Amino acid sequence: MVEVTTAGYIIFSIVGAAFIIFLIFYIIAKSKGHVKIRISNYNYSPGDTINGTVMLSLKKPISSKFLNIALKGVQRTTRPSRDSKGRSSTQTDYMDVFSFKQSLEDKKDYPIGEKEYSFKIKIPSNIIQKSINHPLAGTLVSSMQMLSGTSSSIQWYLIAELETSGFNLSDKVQINIS
């Protein structure tokens, strides 16, 4: 019984220390300033162009390696599974299926203040192409996934990142592409 209590304290201490470290990093990053993505539309179709701005608001002078905007697609697959005791649960896997990065600014020293960067990203016309080209095969795969309880979807994100020495500043916005 003592071993379980000791193990519990150790796990609690590790989780607590990780939370405190995360909180310190978050406070330090926020003390530098922030990056904000602004777009007027959150729903797009293949072939559309995403128009927006990245607002950089700095509380301290910062030297950066780059400022990027990226469009990223992440496939989320959820399937039924069983734990080690045979109880039903679900397992969720994530896989990057699309990534496009556009540079807004190269290495630069930024003063305190705000600066706005405009961007345009053209969504490829074939971005949502099925991996299986035959329509019946696609239907068969969808039917098998439905029968097995597996579901899959692609989540799309715009991600702005200012890479600095120390802690990067970033913003992430979910959009819809269908």
The DSSP string of 89-132 is: EEEEEEEEEEEEEEEEE-SEEEPSEEEEEEEEEEPPTTTT--SS
**Which amino acid is it at 44?**
Y
Residue % of the chain over a pLDDT of 90: 51
Residue 115 inside a domain? The answer is yes
Residue 120's domain spans which residues? 33-177
**Which amino acid is it at 153?**
S
Q: What is the pTM of this model?
A: 0.71
Residue 154 inside a domain? The answer is yes
| Banded pLDDT at 87 (limits 50, 70, 90) | confident
Residue 98 inside a domain? The answer is yes
The total number of structural domains that make up the chain = 1
pLDDT at 2: 47
Average pLDDT value for residue range 114-124 = 96
Residue 34's contacts (CB-CB under 8 Å, 6 or more residues apart) are 57, 169, 171
Q: Are the beta carbons of 160 and 37 closer than 8 angstroms?
A: yes
123: exposed, middle or buried (Cβ count in 10 Å: 0-12, 13-18, 19+): buried
Can you give the CATH number for the domain in which 60 is found? Answer: 2.60.40.640
pLDDT at 117 over 90: yes
pLDDT at 32: 82
Q: Are the beta carbons of 125 and 46 closer than 8 angstroms?
A: yes
Residue 27 inside a domain? The answer is no
Residue 14 inside a domain? The answer is no
Residue 139 inside a domain? The answer is yes
Average pLDDT value for residue range 34-51 = 96
Residue 11 inside a domain? The answer is no
Residue 2 inside a domain? The answer is no
